[in-house]
Amino acid sequence: MGISVILLVMLGLTVAGYLLGTRQALVVTGHNPHQLHSLPSYHGLYLASWVLLPALIVMAIWLIAEPHVAELRLVANLPDGFSQRSFDEQRLLIGDIQARALGGIVSGALDPAFQAAGEAYAGTLAASRWVMIAVMLALMVGGGLIALRQVRPDMRARNRVEKTASVIMIVASTIAIMTTVGIIFSLLFETGRFFSKVPITEFLFGTQWSPQIALRADQVGSSGAFGAIPLFAGTLLITLIAMCVAVPIGLFSAIYMSEYAGKRVRASAKPVLEILAGVPTVVYGFFAALTVAPFFRNTGESIGLTVSSESALAAGIVMGIMIIPFVSSLSDDVMNAVPQSLRDGAYALGATKAETVRQVILPAALPGIVGSVLLAVSRAVGETMIVVMAAGLAANLTANPLEAVTTVTVQIVTLLVGDQEFDSAKTLAAFALGLTLFFVTLCLNVIALNVVRKYREKYD
Amino acid sequence: MQEVQETMTDSGTVSTPGTAGARAENPAALANEKPVKIKSRDVNVFYGEAHALKHVDLDIRQHEVTSLIGPSGCGKSTYLRCINRMNDVIDGCRVEGSIEMDGEDVYDPKLDVVQLRARVGMVFQKPNPFPKSIYDNIAYGPRIHGIGSTKSEMDEIVQGSLQRAGLWEEVKDRMDTPGTGLSGGQQQRLCIARAIAVNPEVILMDEPCSALDPIATAKIEELIDELRQNFTIVIVTHSMQQAARVSQRTAFFHLGILVETDETEQIFTNPKDQRTQDYITGRFG
């Protein structure tokens, strides 16, 4: 019986439990619900949670533990010769036995002794599944009966249901937080392994990036270099170009929308601008690679400049267009939050609209604008698809926007694409880069959110 | 700009009644009646379809405090905001009729609204100092109008305005601190100082004390009485006691209509209209 069938049965029983609880609450009061402490539906929910939750928890634990327990039993059944083998051989053999027993692909012929152990293993798994179903059914029926007997007029079902709901929410948020923490620890752990192969000073301060590992000692270009400075510089250059596009355009459109545009223009223009944020980045990517970059190269050639066909300029400008809405939308919001009374005060003194914007609105909204720009920067630093498609792969250390540069995100992608061994310095470098990127964007976000929050408090 | 400044100095310092223009407009002025500064005829204001102000004829006399009273939504603030054209910035607001200041039509398309607002200052209901230093708050107006080009001139203007607003002694040691850090009453006097720093001829006050405690209110009222020497003041107020205390002339608005206008004493002791009588005796509003 598959897991999905089990889940369907559980769902059915839970609904039945709910209906039963609701009905029972009415029955015990002789169809006079006013005597109840809690509404009948709470009794139903209480009964349903008794049916569902214990069985669900047991099932989760069972499914996690089942393969490990079965494997332990398998190993115990194996002939004596097994424990003399090396660890890698043991793992390989167990894999083969499991695959044979469950109908997968096997690397070679198996010893009859192992064959027998494999059959026992498959039997164990099947038995375990049936035992689990039996236990769960027992739990659901038992839980339901316990709860059913508790249905009395003075039973505080509402309070208990509320308590259960809050526990479920705590569990949900804990899962989300623990996932984040898990990602951070995985990054930290793998980065630690990388730094045991490559010194941290070389990674942070080296100016050579050529992440390859020699297969043979006499191979051409066998010496890998893991200096990440060219990647940081490339990321910085492209981000800088992007901000040069996004900040003026975003800011001016925000000023226009919040101060000059009429209500109707604003109501239609703002969503249109925000659509820019909804365009998939891969679309921007091929736009940059197929339209903008060739245009810059041709224009450059016609005026005698050497422009790389994967120039930082093209990637930066397209990325800038992508993050315009981040700047404009947030800045527009903070400028709208500046009280009308300040505008009135300036107008009443005879200030023109431009003077009011420049001398009153912008200074008052500055912290919020800075916050929005920082958020846009962190978005630009972490942006991947546009630069993968439009920026180069060569790690040039240059400040010339017409040359090809590469970024941290591009290198992470190229390091991990294709068949790789996951313990070489080459692949582990991706984790170090990822951690650096994570750290930078986290800092930018924290600063930006703090700046924005500080501003918000000002007029409350 | 030079020209504007000169006319401002004229009207700011002359305390005997009458500029030539105003006298010509008002030949019937009695000896004890001051000349008319602002003359409104058949003023109508519409917010979209709503007719907010209906056929208002009102004379505001120079170097007097004129108070506009009436229940909420009666159009008194709307009228006030017509004088310096603050209604221009409201979407869908339309003003008809004529408002003349010293014989010049305020709504003349050729008139520069920036210069009008330099001549007509305004103080709002809620103190609205800019989030800048006290000094910069006062210097803001003179700077945008190009008054006080040197540092010492500007210092003088700032000090003079704060002194006239009765705030100098309280803030002289902390001119660099933000104006938003002052107390409510101080902020409102800062806003008055900010308005008089550009040396206007008229100051409009839109319920300037409604957000203040009684002591701060008393200070502002005292200040209004002093400012009357040099400025023409129009004040919107909800407090009839305040109107009686500070103003020489009172106009009563009701449902967008100017019901009655007369000397303050007359309005409060011997109103001609029944609605005025009902309002000041507290029967509605």
**Residue B208, domain CATH:** 3.40.50.300
- Of chain A, the percentage scoring pLDDT greater than 90 comes to 35
> Exposed/middle/buried for A253, CB within 10 Å: 0-12, 13-18, 19+?
buried
Structure tokens at A458: 């000002």
pLDDT above 80 for B22: no
> Is residue B133 exposed (0-12), middle (13-18) or buried (19+ Cβ within 10 Å)?
middle
Task: Return the residue of A nearest to B190 by Cα.
Answer: A345
Q: Using only the alpha carbons of chain B, give its radius of gyration.
A: 19
User: Minimal Cα–Cα distance from B141 to chain A, Å?
Assistant: 6
- Inside any domain, residue B158: yes
Tokens of B182: 């002052």
Residues from chain A that touch B116, judged by Cβ atoms under 8 A, are 350
Chain A hits for B113, Cβ within 8 Å: 350
Of B89, B91, B124, the CB nearest to A263: B91
B interface residues, A as partner, C-beta within 8 Å: 84, 86, 89, 91, 113-118, 121-122, 124, 126, 128-132, 140-141, 144-145, 191, 194-195, 198
Q: Is the pLDDT of residue B17 over 80?
A: no
Beta strands A209-210 and A225-226, pairing class: antiparallel
Cβ–Cβ of B130/A350 closer than 8 Å? Answer: no
In one-letter notation, the amino acid at residue B281 is: T
B42: alpha, beta or left? (left if phi > 0; alpha if psi -120 to 50): left
Residues of A in contact with B157 (CB under 8 A): none
Q: Which of B114, B136, B194, B234 to mutate to test the interface with A (most CBs of A within 10 A)?
A: B114
pLDDT of residue B186: 92
Least confident of A206-210, A301-305, B67-71, B243-247: A206-210
Top mean-pLDDT range of A105-114, A242-251, B66-75: A242-251
Partner-chain residue, chosen from A342, A352, A458, that has the shortest CB–CB distance to B130: A342
Nearest Cα residue to A1 out of A99, A134, A120: A134
The model's pLDDT over A81-126, given as tens digits with 9 standing for 90+, comes to 777 777 788 888 888 888 877 777 766 666 777 777 888 888 888 8
**What domains are defined for chain A?**
3-155 (no CATH), 225-458 (1.10.3720.10)
Better-predicted residue by pLDDT, A426 or A377 = A377
pLDDT at A223: 62
Give the pLDDT band of residue A456 (cuts 50, 70, 90): low
Structural domain includes residue B198 = yes
Express each pLDDT in B123-157 by its tens digit: 999 999 998 899 999 999 999 988 888 899 999 99
Question: Is pLDDT above 50 for B1?
Answer: no
* B138 occurs within a structural domain: yes
SS3 track for chain A:
CCHHHHHHHHHHHHHHHHHHHHHHHHHHCCCCHHHCCCCHHHHHHHHHHHHHHHHHHHHHHHHHHHHHHHHHHHHHHCCHHHHHCCHHHHHHHHHHHHHHHHCCCCCCCCCHHHHHHHHHHHHHHHHHHHHHHHHHHHHHHHHHHHHHHHCCCCCCHHHHHHHHHHHHHHHHHHHHHHHHHHHHHHHHHHHHHHHHHCCHHHHHHCCCEECCCCCCCCCCCCCCEECCHHHHHHHHHHHHHHHHHHHHHHHHHHHHHHHHCCHHHHHHHHHHHHHHHHCCHHHHHHHHHHHHHHHHHHHHHHCCCCCCCCCHHHHHHHHHHHHHHHHHHHHHHHHHHCCHHHHHHHHHCCCCHHHHHHHHHHHHHHHHHHHHHHHHHHHHHHCCHHHHHHCCCCCCCCCCCCCCCCCHHHHHHHHHCCCCCCCCHHHHHHHHHHHHHHHHHHHHHHHHHHHHHHHHHHCC
Burial profile B213-231: b = 16 or more Cβ within 10 angstroms, e = fewer: eeebbebbbebbeebbebb
Look at residue B111 and tell me if it is in a domain. Answer: yes
Is pLDDT of B15 > 50?
A: no
Is 50 exceeded by the pLDDT of residue B10? no
- Overall number of domains in chain B: 1
Backbone phi, psi, residue B249, to 5°: -135, 145
Contact of A55 with A143, CB cutoff 8 Å:
yes
Using pLDDT thresholds of 50, 70 and 90, give the confidence band for residue B16: very low
**DSSP-derived secondary structure letter, B13:** H
Is A349's CB within 8 Å of B89's CB?
no
Q: What does the pLDDT read at residue A252? A: 94
Q: In which element (H, E) is residue B44 found?
A: strand B36-47
- pLDDT for A213 equals 66
pLDDT of residue B4: 42
Using CB atoms, which residue from B89, B118, B128 is nearest to A345? Answer: B128
Find, in chain B, the residue whose alpha carbon is nearest to that of A355: B144
Cβ of B124 within 8 Å of Cβ of A344? The answer is yes
What is the mean pLDDT of the segment spanning A147-173?
Answer: 91
Position A455 pLDDT exceeds 70: no
Size of interface A-B (CB pairs under 8 A): 66
Q: Which residues of B touch A339 (CB under 8 A)?
A: 128
Using a CB-CB cut-off of 8 Å, the residues of chain A touching B130 are 342, 345-346, 360, 364
pLDDT at A291 over 60: yes
User: Quick check: is B285 in a domain?
Assistant: no
* Cα atoms in the Cβ-side hemisphere of radius 13 Å centred on A304: 0
How buried is residue B168: exposed, middle or buried, by Cβ count under 10 Å (0-12/13-18/19+)? middle
Partners of B82 on chain A (C-beta within 8 Å) are: none
What average pLDDT is seen over chain A? 86
- Whether B174 and B134 have beta carbons less than 8 Å apart is answered as yes
Q: How many angstroms separate the CA of residue A454 from the nearest CA in chain B?
A: 14
Q: Could you give phi then psi for residue B19, rounded to 5 degrees?
A: -100, 160
Mutate to test the interface with B, among A344, A349, A366 (most CBs of B within 10 A): A349
Contact A262 B195 (CB under 8 A): no
Chain B contacts of A352, Cβ < 8 Å? 114, 144
User: Tell me: the pLDDT tens digits for B76-129?
Assistant: 999 999 999 988 878 888 899 999 999 889 998 888 888 899 999 999 999 999
Higher pLDDT, A416 or B250: B250
**What pLDDT, in 10s, does the model give residues A193-227?**
989 888 888 888 888 888 876 666 566 555 678 88
Q: A387 and A319 in contact (C-beta within 8 Å)?
A: yes
CB contact under 8 A, B122 and A348: yes
Residue B25: inside a domain: yes
How many beta carbons lie within 10 A of that of residue B115, not counting itself?
14
Residue B196: which domain range? Answer: 2-280
Residue A335 with chain B: CB contacts under 8 Å: none
Cα–Cα distances in Å, from A92 out to A84, A87, A115? Answer: 14, 9, 14
What pLDDT, on the 0 to 100 scale, is given for residue B3? 43
The C-alpha atoms of residue B101 and residue A65 are separated, in whole angstroms, by 90
Largest Cα–Cα distance of chain A, in whole Å?
99
Which chain A residues are Cβ-neighbours of B129 within 8 angstroms?
345
The pLDDT, as a whole number, for residue A177 is 95
Write the DSSP string, B162-208.
HHHTT-HHHHTT-TTSBGGGS-HHHHHHHHHHHHHTT--SEEEEEST
Do A348 and B131 make contact, defined as CB atoms within 8 angstroms? no
Set of chain A residues whose Cβ sits within 8 Å of the Cβ of B124: 341, 344-345, 348
Contact A345 B194 (CB under 8 A): yes
Q: Do A349 and B115 touch (CB under 8 A)?
A: no
Write the pLDDT tens digit of every residue in A117-126.
888 888 888 8
